[in-house]
């Protein structure tokens, strides 16, 4: 029996050794292709940065142009549209290229690259973010209800610690999502930083008569906030799924606090609940302001009063400004330009511009003056790349991206 098992083990080891030899060759090929891909990646990043630099210079120059006739005015308008479309195209290219992590992530995580280049991995991370928000909010709602029922300080501290941890984690995850293409507005990110600070102040608020007079109101506010978070999650996720299916939104867009321009349909459903929550925040600030006249109040009371005031007013103003912003964005047609696909964009006005520019000497001189620095840069880059021709020989073997039919 032992000899049979030994013979089988030796046979398995021989087969495993053969498989390992193939795996070793495959790993060597992987390392070579990885270096080639990284070299291409660096070149693409440099090319995108160069394009953005030149676009910025061209856009700045175009702002000083004063059209003297209808022909020049049409050319200027066409160039404006070209610049907008080119920016949208560069943004689409950047979705598959690494991006800088930003100052906040560099402080928290260090100088590591948090870009997720695989599209499926990006979506999986975003889906984990959505589930994280839902689960933590449900746990917070349960803790708030337990605190209301048992009226024990330990449950209050557990809920406040959960609040601090939740918003700290949320700011990190949202920063990573923003690096990977999520469009998160500035106020809602700032809202989470302020909420983290508010949770920390609540956590160190000492127990006493002033705290107990505000405690029940705070817990009911947390229960309503958890309900509002769930409502936003369910509603926004449904809207985002529909818009992504229609190709009107990015796959990396997320559910987030407040009302946004893409939530145009079904406007009357969510806004009343949102404004009720914002008014609740201002009411908290009002009650805390009156508690500052209590002889036993501590510094946490005026501090929280200011925080709730900022949060309530900021939410109301930002949400209210979204509606006229949506109307303005619709009129300018920026939404369509922003999501222009690379393989379906055609320069419909290029032939007309070239034919009309032949008779416009001033226009030709301006174009030549704009393009001359770019030509010089291309000559310099081509001369420098010729020195690395031997090292980049293998890069030519990498197949190019397939075009969508």
List, for residues 320-353, the tens digit of each pLDDT value. Answer: 887 676 666 555 554 444 444 444 444 444 544 5
Of 115-124, 210-219, 330-339, least confident by mean pLDDT is 330-339
DSSP E strand stretches across 78-177: none
DSSP E strand stretches across 123-187: none
Say if residue 193's pLDDT is above 60: yes
Q: Which of 264-268, 311-315, 320-324, 397-401 has the highest mean pLDDT?
A: 311-315
More confident residue, 396 or 32: 32
What was the pLDDT predicted at 268? 63
What was the pLDDT predicted at 94? 86
Q: What percentage of residues in the chain have a pLDDT greater than 70?
A: 71
Say if residue 271's pLDDT is above 50: yes
pLDDT digits (tens, 9 = 90+) for 133-149: 888 988 999 999 999 98
What was the pLDDT predicted at 182? 81
User: What mean pLDDT comes out for the span 207-231?
Assistant: 90
Say if residue 379's pLDDT is above 70: no
Backbone φ/ψ region at 294: left (φ over 0), alpha (ψ -120 to 50), beta: beta
Of 2-11, 18-27, 229-238, 330-339, least confident by mean pLDDT is 330-339
pTM: 0.70
How far apart (Å, rounded) are the C-alpha atoms in residues 350 and 337?
Answer: 17
Q: Give the burial string for 211-223 (b: 16+ CB within 10 Å, else e).
A: beebbeebbebbb
Average pLDDT over all residues of the chain: 78
More confident residue, 26 or 265: 26
Is residue 357 within 8 Å of residue 367, measured between CB atoms?
Answer: yes
The pair of structure tokens assigned to 278 is: 């914002």
Of 81-95, 180-194, 248-262, least confident by mean pLDDT is 248-262
What was the pLDDT predicted at 111? 83
User: What mean pLDDT comes out for the span 272-290?
Assistant: 93
Is residue 134 within 8 Å of residue 189, measured between CB atoms?
Answer: no
Token pair 């369509």 is at which residue? 336
- Reference 218, options 174, 268, 163; nearest CA is 163
What was the pLDDT predicted at 184? 79
- Reference 237, options 261, 256, 250; nearest CA is 256
8-state DSSP, 69: S
**pLDDT confidence bin for 121, thresholds 50/70/90:** confident
User: What mean pLDDT comes out for the span 267-278?
Assistant: 82
User: What mean pLDDT comes out for the span 136-164?
Assistant: 91
DSSP H or E segment with residue 338: helix 334-338
What spatial distance separates the first Cα and last Cα of the chain, rounded to whole Å? 62
More confident residue, 341 or 291: 291
The pair of structure tokens assigned to 72 is: 């020049």
What was the pLDDT predicted at 65? 83
Of 24-38, 70-84, 265-279, least confident by mean pLDDT is 265-279
The pair of structure tokens assigned to 135 is: 């689960």
User: What mean pLDDT comes out for the span 153-165?
Assistant: 93
H helices, E strands: number in the chain = 12, 0
**pLDDT confidence bin for 269, thresholds 50/70/90:** confident
Say if residue 289's pLDDT is above 50: yes
User: What mean pLDDT comes out for the span 115-129?
Assistant: 85
User: What mean pLDDT comes out for the span 96-125?
Assistant: 87
Say if residue 110's pLDDT is above 80: yes
pLDDT digits (tens, 9 = 90+) for 231-252: 877 776 666 555 555 554 454 5
What was the pLDDT predicted at 360? 55
What was the pLDDT predicted at 370? 53
């Amino acid at each position: 029996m032992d000899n049979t098992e030994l013979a089988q083990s030796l046979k398995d080891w021989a087969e495993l050794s053969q498989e390992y030899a193939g795996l070793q060759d495959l790993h060597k090929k992987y390392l070579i292709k990885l270096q080639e891909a990284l070299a291409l990646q660096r070149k693409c990043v440099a090319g995108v940065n160069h394009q953005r630099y030149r676009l910025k210079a061209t856009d700045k120059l175009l702002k000083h142009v004063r059209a003297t006739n209808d022909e020049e005015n049409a050319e200027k308008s066409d160039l404006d549209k070209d610049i907008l479309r080119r920016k949208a195209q560069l943004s689409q290219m950047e979705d598959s290229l690494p991006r800088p992590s930003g100052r906040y992530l560099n402080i928290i995580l260090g100088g590591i690259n948090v870009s997720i280049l695989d599209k499926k991995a990006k979506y999986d991370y975003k889906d984990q973010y959505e589930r994280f928000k839902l689960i933590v909010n449900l746990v917070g709602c349960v803790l708030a209800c337990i605190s209301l029922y048992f009226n024990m300080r330990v449950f209050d501290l557990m809920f406040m610690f959960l609040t601090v941890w939740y918003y700290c984690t949320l700011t990190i995850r949202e920063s990573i999502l923003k690096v990977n293409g999520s469009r998160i507005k500035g106020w809602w990110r700032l809202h989470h930083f302020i909420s983290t600070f508010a949770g920390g102040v609540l956590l160190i608020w000492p127990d006493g008569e002033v705290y107990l007079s505000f405690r029940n109101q705070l817990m009911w506010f947390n229960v309503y906030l958890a309900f509002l978070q769930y409502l936003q999650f369910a509603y926004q996720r449904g809207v985002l799924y529909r818009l992504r299916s229609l190709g009107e939104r990015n796959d990396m867009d997320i559910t987030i606090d407040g009302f946004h321009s893409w939530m145009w349909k079904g406007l009357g459903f969510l806004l009343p609940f949102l404004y009720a929550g914002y008014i609740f925040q201002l009411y908290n600030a009002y009650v805390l302001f009156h508690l500052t006249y209590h002889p036993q109040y501590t510094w946490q009371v005026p501090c929280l009063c200011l925080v709730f005031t900022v949060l309530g007013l900021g939410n109301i103003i930002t949400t209210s400004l979204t509606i006229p912003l949506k109307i303005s964005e619709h009129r300018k047609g920026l939404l369509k330009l922003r999501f222009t696909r690379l393989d379906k964009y055609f320069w419909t006005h290029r032939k007309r511009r070239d034919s009309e520019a032949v008779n416009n000497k001033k226009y030709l001189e301006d174009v030549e003056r704009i393009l001359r620095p770019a030509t010089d840069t291309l000559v310099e880059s081509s001369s420098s790349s010729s020195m690395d021709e031997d090292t980049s020989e293998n890069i030519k073997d990498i197949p190019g991206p397939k075009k969508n039919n």
